[in-house]
Amino acid sequence: MKQPDFQYGGQAVIEGVMMRGRDHLAVAVRNNRGEIVIKKETVGSITKKYPFLKWPLLRGIVALCESFVLGMKVLMFSADLFMESEEESKLSPWESGLMIGFALLMTVVLFILLPLGGRMLLHKYLPNFSFVWGNIVESLLRMVILFGYILSISFLKDIQRVFAYHGAEHKVINTFEAKQELTVENARKFPTFHPRCGTSFLLFVVITSAVFFSFLKYETIWMRLLSRIMLMPLVAGVSYEIIKFTGKHQDFFLWRWLSLPGKLLQMLTTKEPDDAQLEVAISSLVAVITEEAPVIVGGKIYNAESESVTNVTEAEPTTVS
């Protein structure tokens, strides 16, 4: 029995944390009665049916799409629990689909259309504006929008709670990867930063897109818009490989330096969690690792009979293909 060669990851949700393993995920949410409700799911990947999708660059695109779909599902699960505690109705499938579509639309508007529009507007009033400076301005606008968006939502009380659960997720993953027993006391000692965080991934996407888009010299705004949308899967694939590589090689100073911008950005998207939030994150990770295989962490065996935390109830399991 040993720690599996797999990089566990997760996502903060409303009053909870989702952790994903090789073939399973678990989302743990604390309800208004103080209980931790755990929902486990078997997750499938299209890469099992089509192994070529595991190739570098392609695997990043697949991982991004699958993570987005699963992330929205567990977010809806946590939202349902939250609204149920407020005696409100749950979200319908139509409402969930509308939210996903709106999220995709806002991504295109904020990070592609607005920076490109700002560049074209500047070129209109400064006809001698060079192509190189146009690329720099567009990239800077994309960076400013990313920072501005994160900074603006960080003032919202509910988002601050989510950011605290984000910090709890990182602390617990860091505890596991340090091969220490998964306890609140151990998790407290670790930082809220993690090199494979989705926040760092977004930053790498912005930086990588600046490099890729600098080679595009289309004159019309429609061709520029279309080219950027079509290149986004490639940008995401390259960014995924960068963050995966740097996350695995933090022992080398150069890769630690590459992770530094993401670390600074995570200072906005993570908050120091309290013990109750750490308990939720621990119970989510324990639910995943005990579902996949018996594991020894910090001298403790985690298997199907392991106890995570008290007051845990389990939601009806489902299968996701």
In a domain, 216, yes or no: yes
Name the residue with higher pLDDT: 226 or 192: 192
Which tokens go with 280? 């939720």
pLDDT at 314: 47
pLDDT at 319: 35
pLDDT of 304 strictly over 70: no
* Sequence-ordered alpha helix ranges (H) in 13-130: 46-49, 58-85, 93-108, 114-125
The partner residues of 112 in beta bridges, in order of sequence, read none
223 CB-near residues (< 8 Å, 6+ apart): none
pLDDT at 309: 41
Q: Which pLDDT band, with edges at 50, 70 and 90, does 93 fall under?
A: low
pLDDT of 161 strictly over 90: yes
- Is residue 10 within 8 A of residue 20, CB to CB? The reply is yes
∠ CA 168-172-175, rounded to 5°? 140
pLDDT at 91: 57
Name the residue with higher pLDDT: 159 or 94: 159
CA distance 171 to 192: 5
72 CB-near residues (< 8 Å, 6+ apart): 96, 99, 100, 103
288 CB-near residues (< 8 Å, 6+ apart): 8, 19, 20, 21, 24, 25, 26, 40
Name the residue with higher pLDDT: 275 or 97: 275
The partner residues of 103 in beta bridges, in order of sequence, read none
In a domain, 4, yes or no: no
Q: Which residue has the tokens 């409303």?
A: 14
Number of domains observed in the structure of the chain:
1
Secondary structure of 224-277 in HEC code, one letter for each residue = HHHHHHHHHHHHHHHHHHHHHHHHHCCCCHHHHHHHHHHHHHHHHHCCCCCHHH
pLDDT at 28: 95
Which tokens go with 23? 């073939």
In a domain, 73, yes or no: yes
pLDDT at 197: 92
CA distance 32 to 186: 26
CA distance 149 to 264: 15
Q: Which pLDDT band, with edges at 50, 70 and 90, does 88 fall under?
A: very low
pLDDT of 64 strictly over 90: no
Q: Which pLDDT band, with edges at 50, 70 and 90, does 95 fall under?
A: low
Q: Which pLDDT band, with edges at 50, 70 and 90, does 305 fall under?
A: low
Q: Which pLDDT band, with edges at 50, 70 and 90, does 84 fall under?
A: low
- Is residue 143 within 8 A of residue 110, CB to CB? The reply is no
In a domain, 54, yes or no: yes
For range 230-251, the mean pLDDT? 87
Q: What is the pTM of this model?
A: 0.83
DSSP at 220: S
pLDDT at 316: 46
Determine the structural domain holding residue 257 and report its residue range.
9-320
Residue type for position 221: I
pLDDT of 238 strictly over 60: yes
For range 76-93, the mean pLDDT? 65
In a domain, 149, yes or no: yes
Q: Which pLDDT band, with edges at 50, 70 and 90, does 1 fall under?
A: very low
The partner residues of 153 in beta bridges, in order of sequence, read none
- Is residue 196 within 8 A of residue 45, CB to CB? The reply is no
In a domain, 282, yes or no: yes
pLDDT of 249 strictly over 70: yes
For range 284-310, the mean pLDDT? 72
Q: What is the mean pLDDT of the chain?
A: 82
Name the residue with higher pLDDT: 315 or 21: 21
CA distance 187 to 284: 14
- Is residue 30 within 8 A of residue 36, CB to CB? The reply is yes
Q: Which pLDDT band, with edges at 50, 70 and 90, does 96 fall under?
A: low
Residue type for position 202: L
Q: Are strands 36-43 and 295-297 parallel, antiparallel or unpaired?
A: unpaired
In a domain, 82, yes or no: yes
Q: What is the largest CA-CA distance in the chain?
A: 70
Helices 114-125, 221-248: axis angle to 10 degrees equals: 130
pLDDT at 65: 82
- Is residue 122 within 8 A of residue 134, CB to CB? The reply is yes
In a domain, 3, yes or no: no
